[in-house]
Each structure stands twice: as structure tokens, then as C-alpha cells.
Amino acid sequence: MLNFASDFLCIFKELKKVLDFMFPQTCIICGKLSKDYICEVCEKRFNKYKENGIIDNKKMIMDKLNIHNINLKQNYYLVEGQKIYWEKMIYCFNYKSIVRKYILQYKFFGKVYLSRFFSYQILKNPKINQIFKNYDIIIPVPMDKIKKAKRGYNQAELITNIISKSGLIKSDNTILEKAKKSKTQSTLKKEERKNNVENAYVVKQTYKVKNRKIIIFDDIYTTGATVNEISKKLKIAGATEVMVLVIAKD
């Protein structure tokens, strides 16, 4: 039995060598031969804009008021006069240069394979890995059905599906729905963006949200109007904590 196992391993290793020779690994970004699926040169180009930024509203409010270990009864935080419904936000990159270029390619130019690259960037981040263990569900920002059918995919959903397969946290695409057709946020000014998304999202399965710690995933954070509106709906549905995770912050 042991012989059989070691023979099998040997054959497998040989087979992998042959396959690597026939189908060499190439960099997902530049297409050149690479040991990993992003080459060192491209990795360096992205690393320049790597941020690992965390914004913690709860901590900020606590520090400001110089209070600790109290339960904030309201479900929002007043930050610069605005009601913010999420506790924390984490972003992997600054939305600049090569990062911006590839997010736009991924989102608007059908380069679906980049979902693997961005998921990889998230999953290999130890800080985010730790955070995943402390939350119950990850939810992608939904698209309205017509828009999704036109694009053929929801860029946020593809990434949360890959994250879910890692086993670190489960994703659920059925909890939240885009109920109202709205204009594309990037075409609007800050105040218009807020009005545009107001009541645009509905929590379909409240029981999955109640007393849960939830992560909302989106590709880019600009004014934050969309994720704030979703956080509000999740808090009303009974979520105890909401965290926002994005690839890049503008």
C-alpha cells in the first residue's frame, strides 16, 4: 500500500513536470513566463500602491469622546456630520495608476480572469485573513438584473465566490438585492450619489443578517454612498457589525 502511494506520488510529480513544460505558467498581468501567476516585475508595480489601510469609525468615536468599553446604542457613527453605518473599512490598494487600470479592465472590459488576481491579493493578506475569521458572512454589492445581464457578470460577486471557496468565510449572494435601477455612480456628484442609491437595496433574508457580523465587498470605494446605504439596511435588519472590504480606495 505504502509502495503504491509513493509510486503514485512519483508519477504525479513527473506528470506535473511534463504539464509545466507543455503549458508553462504565465503572469496573469503581462503574459510573460512566471513562477507564480503574477511575475516579480508586475508584483512590484502593484506593491507601490499597496495600502492595507483600515478605517475604524468605532475606535475613532471612542477616542474622540475619550470613552471606552461602552455600547453605542445608535447604529451609526457621526463622522464629519454624516451618518456612517459601518464600523470598519479595509482597502488593499490606493486607486491609482496600474491598480486603477486593471480594476477598470476587470469591471468594464470583460477581463473576467482578473477576478483570480484580485482574490489572490486579498487572500494572501494576513490582516484580512484574520478579519475573515471574526466575521460570519461576506456579501458582494449586488447589481440590478438588467445591468448584470448586459455585463455578463458581477465583478464583486466573482471575487466573493473565490474567497468563499478558500474556506475562510462564507459568501452569500441571496441576502441582498438591488431593488431599484439607479444611474452609474461614477457619473454623479457626491450629493447626487447619496440620493441615487437611497432605498436602492433590499435585505431579502433578514434572519440571515440578525445578530451577525457582516462584510460587504465592493471593488472601489469613492464617496462610500453605496456601501453606507447597504450598511444602513443591514443594521436595520439586525446586523451587529458591518465591515466594508474593497480592492481599492479612491
| Residue 53: partners with Cβ closer than 8 Å, 6 or more residues away | 90, 91, 249
Nearer to Zn ion among residue 102 and residue 135 (C-beta): 102
Stretch of 1-9, 36-44, 133-141, 232-240 contacting Zn ion, by CB under 5 A? 36-44
In whole angstroms, give the CA distance from residue 248 to residue 113: 18
Please, what sign has the CA dihedral across residues 69, 226, 119, 215?
Answer: positive
Is there a contact between 51 and 91 (Cβ–Cβ < 8 Å)? yes
Nearer to Zn ion among residue 24 and residue 145 (C-beta): 24
Nearer to Zn ion among residue 86 and residue 106 (C-beta): 106
SS3 202: strand
Among 2, 7, 20, 39, binds Zn ion (CB under 5 A): 39
User: Per CB under 5 A, does 29 bind Zn ion?
Assistant: yes
Beta strands in the chain (DSSP E): 50-56, 77-79, 82-84, 88-94, 137-140, 170-171, 176-178, 201-203, 213-221, 241-249
Q: Which amino acid is at 149?
A: A
Please, what sign has the CA dihedral across residues 187, 193, 199, 205?
Answer: positive
User: Per CB under 5 A, does 42 bind Zn ion?
Assistant: yes
Q: How far is the CB of 26 from Zn ion (least distance, A)?
A: 8
Q: For the segment 197-216, give every residue that binds Zn ion (CB under 5 A).
A: none
User: What backbone torsions phi and psi does residue 139 show, to the nearest 5 degrees?
Assistant: -120, 125
Instruction: List the one residue out of 22, 203, 219 whose CA is nearest residue 106.
Output: 219
Q: How far is the CB of 246 from Zn ion (least distance, A)?
A: 24
SS3 247: strand
Q: How far is the CB of 106 from Zn ion (least distance, A)?
A: 16
Stretch of 19-27, 95-103, 151-159, 193-201 contacting Zn ion, by CB under 5 A? 19-27
User: Per CB under 5 A, does 28 bind Zn ion?
Assistant: no
Q: How far is the CB of 220 from Zn ion (least distance, A)?
A: 23
In whole angstroms, give the CA distance from residue 192 to residue 39: 41
Stretch of 38-46, 121-129, 164-172, 186-194 contacting Zn ion, by CB under 5 A? 38-46
Number of residues located near Zn ion, criterion CB under 5 A: 5
Q: How far is the CB of 158 from Zn ion (least distance, A)?
A: 21
Is there a contact between 221 and 246 (Cβ–Cβ < 8 Å)? yes
Q: How far is the CB of 98 from Zn ion (least distance, A)?
A: 11
User: Per CB under 5 A, does 114 bind Zn ion?
Assistant: no
Nearer to Zn ion among residue 46 and residue 132 (C-beta): 46
Among 9, 11, 30, 149, binds Zn ion (CB under 5 A): 30
Q: How far is the CB of 43 from Zn ion (least distance, A)?
A: 8
Tell me which residues touch Zn ion (CB under 5 A). 27, 29-30, 39, 42
